[in-house]
Amino acid sequence: MQEIVATGVAPHYAELAPRLGISPNEALNRIESILAITPGWMHPGTDYIASFPPFNNQPTAYRITVRGEQRWFAQCGFEALACSWMFPGEIVDIKAPCLLGDDSLHLKMKDGELVLVDPETIVGYTRSRLGMEEPDQPFR
Amino acid sequence: MNLFRSEQHAQQWKDWDQEMASTLRPVEWWTETFRNPIFRNRNRSDYLTWLTGESGISATAAFHDRLQQ
């Protein structure tokens, strides 16, 4: 988490291994174990972390800007609302396009509080079930 | 899990599913939902230990309870 917060990119297991003083295989095993109990996932058929909530390693529509730098992408619209916990005391700027082609959405948050909602009518909706009870029920 | 400009926008989305209409909530409601400690504590160095311990299990249950509201 420290790496993705600092850089916007989740490390590859081979990069993580020497930092933790473990073998690459062990680093991969640990990543897979973590993703099994948190709502993240590897890109199918690869050893690359695709999503490590609240962030996404692959770009999404939910762009996160902190201190003027847009380095991060949220896993989804809901997880975008959890990103500010990763940047204590900072203004976290969330921008996303409108899925129907109208003007984009803009939120600002600080320590879990909304400080800007534009437009004021923004809602959240998912057609997927939320939660982590079933292994085939990704949090997206 | 997307954000929309308004309820009307969400209901006009190509993937709108009336069966999941109960998830259509103001962004303020979802923000409160994501104040749960399972989200707030992700930057703890002992997060996984915390998550799988008594406090984490309790917080996860509270999250699921809120989703049932």
Q: Assess contact for A57 and A40: CB atoms under 8 A.
A: no
Q: How far is CA A115 from CA A70, A73, A103, B54, in A?
A: 18, 19, 19, 33
Q: Does B69 touch chain A (CB under 8 A)?
A: no
Best of B42, B47, B50, B57 to disrupt the A interface (most A CBs within 10 Å) is B42
* CB-based contacts of A110-115 (< 8 A; 24+ apart in sequence): A110/A84, A111/A84, A111/A85, A112/A84, A112/A85, A112/B31, A112/B34, A112/B35, A112/B40, A113/A84, A113/B31, A114/B27, A114/B28, A114/B31, A115/A91
**How confident is the model over B19-62, as pLDDT tens digits?**
999 999 999 999 999 999 999 999 999 998 999 899 999 999 99
**How confident is the model over A18-39, as pLDDT tens digits?**
999 999 999 999 999 888 888 8
**How confident is the model over A39-97, as pLDDT tens digits?**
889 988 899 999 999 999 999 999 999 999 999 999 999 999 999 999 999 999 999 99
ipTM of the complex: 0.95
pLDDT of residue A134 exceeding 60, the answer is no
The DSSP secondary-structure symbol of A74 reads: B
